Amino acid sequence: MNSKLFLPNLWRFIWLVAIQVIVLSEASLTADGYCNVLAYPLFILFLPIQIPTPIAVFLGFLVGMTVDVFTGTIGINASAGALSGYTRAIILKRFAPRGEFTGKEPIPSPEYFGWRWFLIVASIFFGIHIFWYFSMAYFTPVYLFAKILPQALLGWIFTMLVVIVLTRLFHPKI
């Protein structure tokens, strides 16, 4: 990652971890704490397009572990972050405009590809992340239909709303 992309990603890391730890980890959208909103994976999604997958996996693990340290979730976010770093390249390759990226697009954002493309990619990316997060939180198939799927779906809906708001904040030109 060159110096031109390093600083914006560092700030994005700091802000998204702060938002996750200070605001979203403390906010309960339902009375029983049934809905978790996860904004920090946006850091992983907004990494430069050409970044190698092992580095994306490491950075995903790092951002997840940072959130785990501050929220006491013991590896759940680190696991989901590493998985997201891995699946990111697969999702981006599958949904690349006209089959491949030109190299002129520094990050996968609506600024370069439009909102429709971004929302499709972000929906799949966050869907995988959130499903894995809740699967690791319960770590048993017994709760698949009773807890994991409903919480993942509700968390995904609210997370996508937060992703749209945060994307507008990080990319005000669009």
Write down the pLDDT at residue 134. 87
155 vs 29, higher pLDDT: 155
Across 89-93, 95-99, 102-106, 153-157, least confident range: 102-106
What residues does each domain of the chain span? Answer: 40-170
pTM score: 0.87
Write down the pLDDT at residue 61. 98
Averaged pLDDT for residues 10-19: 92
Q: What is the pLDDT of residues 145-174, one digit of tens each?
A: 777 788 888 889 999 999 999 998 877 665
Q: Let me know if 138 is exposed, middle or buried by CB neighbors in 10 A (0-12, 13-18, 19+).
A: middle
Nearby residues of 91 by Cβ (< 8 Å), 6 or more positions away: 121, 124, 125, 128
The three-class DSSP label of residue 137 is helix
Write down the pLDDT at residue 82. 98
